[in-house]
A = this chain, B = another copy of it.
Amino acid sequence: MEKKNNPDTIQNSIIYANNAATTWPKPPSVLAAVYKAAAGPYLEQGRTTVQDVPDYLFETRRRLANFFNTRDPDAYVFTAHATDSLNLLIHGFARQEKGPFHVITTLFEHNSVIRPLYELQKTGRISLTVIPPNAEGIIDPDDVSGALRDDTKLGIFSHAGNVIGTVQDISEITRIMDEADIFSIIDGAQSAGQIPIDLSRILCDAFVFTGHKYLFGVPGTGGFFLRSPDQIYPVRQGGTGIDSSSPVQPESMPERFEAGTPNFPGIAGLGAGIAYVQDIGIEAIQTKTMGMISDLIQKLQEINGVSILHEHPQTPLVSFQIPGLDPDDIGYILAKAYRIITRSGLHCAPWVHSRLTEGKGAVRISLSYMNTFEECAQIADAINALCQSE
């Protein structure tokens, strides 16, 4: 097996293809924004007493509203990550419901959806319908309609999957939900920054995003857009800097869901990350990333022994197996021998893996705008060499 030389620094030597977990590298503007906000000074953000420091929170909220094409910046709540967002929304919705209710979701969901739902299911709070995709990896909106019951109150839908990269028709799915008066949550962790999203035209009640993936922020940031705050109970309570004499969480947005000191540096970085995406443009990003993934998939298809889970992704990722090799071993060899960083295993998405890999897992290559066609060629070469050496 060919082994590459070790250059001086990791940064120069690795090929990073685990962007669906966390994008890397980050734009210099993001790092600069994080540093500047961390350096401070820390003045009263949002309730300013000295005007010289940017209001990082509101600036980023305004940018989010612009990016997702909605009007009110205060409809965007900051959280620690998409998992935090989904917990606040799912448990906050359930807290409002008196009796048991029915939830519709899809086979593509991440453990950040599966585990909160299971928590509600095992305590008898909900019953659950999990909709599988068709052979093309698409959730048929008719299947969503068909799953509706009189007691259906909530629908949660992954926008873009983190294992095979298909994108769901959330416009139609949320239209069905809206027509039936069912609260709908879209998990946009894998889609925001990758495909155009216009929340003025999508009838979801809540849209979840994370900062550290394709919006190019740093880990520790995420949030959600929420159309009607009173439909979600604030299950986390604490200081908000307003209405301090009241023992209950304020009703106003975004304080209703933002107890505790916000992650100013991370949120400033998220604003810079969205600006980076906007400056390049989603279409230009897609053209490059989808071009790279098409090239890579084509090369992988030519390698004997590589089994691709899905050959027509709509986001730049591809998962594969090499029969006879454990995915974790493949990931390990790619990292150690070729310094190619992938993610092996179940990708926190056990349901889709149980269907597509019988729970055995796969190796995922996920690209961002920061990757190059040359890196994709090197990845294909490494996988080819790995297959030949077996």
Binding site for B on A (CB under 8 A): 10-11, 14, 16, 18, 21-22, 24-26, 30-31, 34-35, 38-44, 49-50, 52-53, 79-84, 86-87, 91, 110-112, 114-116, 118-119, 210, 212, 218-222, 235-241, 244-249, 259-266, 269, 331-332, 335-336, 339, 341, 343, 345-350, 353-354, 359
Pairs A-B, 5 closest by C-beta atoms: A220-B263, A83-B260, A239-B348, A115-B237, A83-B238
A249 partner residues in chain B, CB cutoff 8 A: 115
In the bound assembly, the distance between CA atoms of A336 and B48 in angstroms comes to 11
Q: Given the complex, which residues of B lie within 8 Å of A111, measured CB to CB? A: 237-240, 244, 247, 259
List of B residues within 8 angstroms of A80 by Cβ: 79-80, 84, 220, 260, 263
A26 and B40 within 8 A (CB): yes
Given A245-B346, A266-B263, A350-B245, are A40 and B24 neighbors across the interface (CB < 8 Å)? yes
Q: How far is the CA of A249 from the CA of B25 in the complex (A)?
A: 30
| 16 A–B contacts from the bound complex (CB under 8 Å) | A10-B50, A21-B42, A49-B331, A83-B238, A87-B237, A87-B238, A91-B235, A111-B247, A111-B259, A115-B239, A115-B247, A115-B259, A220-B261, A220-B265, A244-B349, A263-B266
A230 to chain B, nearest CB (A): 17
Q: Which of B34, B262, B346 contacts A35 (CB 8 A)?
A: B34
A41 proximity list for chain B (CB < 8 A): 10-11, 14, 16, 24-25, 341
Closest chain B CB from A314 CB (angstroms): 22
| Cross-chain contact of A259 among B24, B53, B83, B239 (Cβ < 8 A) | B83
**Minimum CB–CB distance for A5 against chain B, Å:** 14
- Structural contact, A114 and B247, CB atoms closer than 8 A: yes
Most B-side CB within 10 Å, residue of A30, A31, A91: A31
| Cβ contacts under 8 Å, A16 to chain B | 41-42
Q: Closest approach, in angstroms, between the C-beta of A203 and any C-beta of chain B? A: 26
Inter-subunit contact B50/A110 (CB<8 Å): no
When the two chains form their complex, are residues A219 and B49 in contact, meaning their CB atoms are under 8 A apart? no
Q: Which residues of B contact A82 (CB under 8 A)?
A: 260
